[in-house]
Amino acid sequence: MGRMGPVWRLIRGQKDICHRCGQEIVDFPAVGRVVDFQFHPEQKYCWECYRYLQPFVDELGSDSPYQPVTKPAIP
């Protein structure tokens, strides 16, 4: 069984709740793990909470398993 993570991914077209503030979200960044080529989100964030977390994600450097998510230019 191949397992990779944690990784960031932009989830589109789904509704959920922000893990940090509880706000309803659509088209959101999520952090999770990839198991057998399937992404399994563990935490999901609204864009406001992600902006708060992004400096910590960016500070991890290029060797980090985390990759920052960019907001789509066209929703």
Tokens matching residue 3: 């397992």
Stronger pLDDT, 64 or 41, i.e. the higher one: 41
Stronger pLDDT, 2 or 50, i.e. the higher one: 50
Query: Does pTM top 0.75 for this prediction?
Result: no
| Identity of the amino acid at 8 | W
Contact 41, 30 (CB under 8 A): yes
Average pLDDT over residues 37-57: 86
- CA 10 – CA 38 distance, rounded (Å): 14
Query: What is the average pLDDT value for the chain, to the nearest integer?
Result: 79
Torsion of CA 44, 51, 55, 37, to 10 degrees: 30
- Judged against a pLDDT cut of 60, whether residue 8 lies above it is answered with yes
